[in-house]
Chain A
């Protein structure tokens, strides 16, 4: 929660487990095995200090800077989103008011648009939790919905599908 991770190690797998109203933002370099994943909790920061990935408006630039440092190029970068569910449908106060999930997603999309990074796939909205995985070597992003099976959200075309699944 509120954290981010980046990697240029092909064997690595970046995971955000149990995303509800939070949004998992994956940035992937299409041609190099460099990827990053942030777990965004809230749309915008008011406080001067915060965990790097907690707020959408800070998480996107921070994640971008971190994966560029590992050699990712912005022109080759794509984004994949997961999460942003409305867990407590119909809640008037506290836990679910004002559809936090949708606001998180909108804030992430707007920050990505500002950075010029296209969103190529998304598993967002609804009322179920999700787990998102980024397999760095394959540049593959997959998502598993609560009670469901893992499905591939995005992977580069030039990578053969018969690559061994890193798990």
Chain B
């Protein structure tokens, strides 16, 4: 197994996840006009094969919003990208649409969910950008209703690249009085995580193979 990140670096990433998801929770609360509770986030560096299991049941049907962000690191570290992923149940998707006054599972409903992803993702990466001085630019969101594994594995294929490691920053947001829980995941590419750590003065060690 590859040990790439040490405890101190994982702590730093957890702290980033905490700040990012805190900002996202505030943005969601403002958007919905309801309190949003935030659980303590996790930062996991896992072998690819285990990363999916850590997120949930691979063939469970979920609603998801995927927001890729591209970074301009201006160095030779490669692409600094973070994929923001929101996962929630179908019923939660319907609740969110109702709160925003749009028909669930309609073009407008999907667009509203994409907007939630946009606002949450942009506020989280905005906080990262402020802390690290990194330019992170959110791309248009994708709204998918599909198998959890299909969504997550397709993203991890892109973020993990040659490494056998997936970095998962995971926080859960609960919209109060709405029976609605969202998983808020930040999936940095290896270049993205290295860049964030480098900016925090915790340069990553080269991978041991």
Q: How far is the CB of B63 from chain A (nearest CB, A)?
A: 12
B interface bracket (residues with beta carbon within 8 Å of A)? 35 or more
Main secondary structure on A side of the interface with B: loop
Give chain B residues whose Cβ lies under 8 Å from the Cβ of A88: 66, 142, 144, 154
- Is the beta-carbon distance between B48 and A95 smaller than 8 angstroms? no
Whose C-beta in chain B lies nearest to the C-beta of A86? Answer: B154
Q: Does B119 sit at the interface, judged by CB under 8 A? A: no
Q: Does A131 sit at the interface, judged by CB under 8 A? A: yes
- Is the beta-carbon distance between B154 and A95 smaller than 8 angstroms? yes
Docked CA distance A3–B147 (Å): 19
- Is the beta-carbon distance between B48 and A47 smaller than 8 angstroms? no
Docked CA distance A147–B63 (Å): 12
- Is the beta-carbon distance between A47 and B162 smaller than 8 angstroms? yes
Selected contact of B150 from candidates A45, A85, A97, CB within 8 Å: A85
Excluding A17-B59, A48-B209, A93-B81, 12 further A-B contacts by CB distance (< 8 Å) are A1-B51, A18-B149, A20-B146, A22-B154, A85-B154, A87-B144, A91-B68, A129-B149, A130-B147, A131-B58, A144-B59, A146-B147
Given contacts A87-B144, A95-B66, A95-B154, contact A17 B149 (CB under 8 A): yes
Mask for B133-175, Cβ within 8 A of A = 1, else 0?
A: 0000001001011111111111111111010100000000000
Given contacts A46-B162, A94-B139, contact A87 B49 (CB under 8 A): no
Q: How far is the CB of A125 from chain B (nearest CB, A)?
A: 13
- Is the beta-carbon distance between B49 and A146 smaller than 8 angstroms? no
Give chain A residues whose Cβ lies under 8 Å from the Cβ of B146: 20, 87, 128-129, 146-147
6 intermolecular pairs with C-beta atoms under 8 Å apart: A88-B66, A94-B159, A95-B154, A144-B59, A146-B61, A147-B146
Give chain A residues whose Cβ lies under 8 Å from the Cβ of B57: 17
Q: Which A residues have a C-beta under 8 Å from some C-beta of B?
A: 1-3, 17-22, 41-42, 45-51, 54, 85, 87-88, 91-97, 100-101, 128-131, 144, 146-147
Give chain A residues whose Cβ lies under 8 Å from the Cβ of B151: 18, 20, 87, 129
Q: How far is the CB of B30 from chain A (nearest CB, A)?
A: 27
Give chain B residues whose Cβ lies under 8 Å from the Cβ of A49: 164, 209
- Is the beta-carbon distance between B49 and A94 smaller than 8 angstroms? no
Whose C-beta in chain B lies nearest to the C-beta of A94? Answer: B68
Q: Does B13 sit at the interface, judged by CB under 8 A? A: no
Q: Does B52 sit at the interface, judged by CB under 8 A? A: yes
Given contacts A129-B150, A146-B61, contact A1 B81 (CB under 8 A): no
Q: Does B83 sit at the interface, judged by CB under 8 A? A: yes
Whose C-beta in chain A lies nearest to the C-beta of B85? Answer: A95
- Is the beta-carbon distance between B164 and A87 smaller than 8 angstroms? no
- Is the beta-carbon distance between A93 and B68 smaller than 8 angstroms? yes
Q: How far is the CB of A18 from chain B (nearest CB, A)?
A: 2
- Is the beta-carbon distance between A17 and B158 smaller than 8 angstroms? no
Docked CA distance A129–B61 (Å): 10
- Is the beta-carbon distance between B49 and A2 smaller than 8 angstroms? yes
Q: How far is the CB of A29 from chain B (nearest CB, A)?
A: 26
Docked CA distance A130–B51 (Å): 18
- Is the beta-carbon distance between A54 and B48 smaller than 8 angstroms? yes
Give chain A residues whose Cβ lies under 8 Å from the Cβ of B160: 41
Docked CA distance A54–B79 (Å): 22
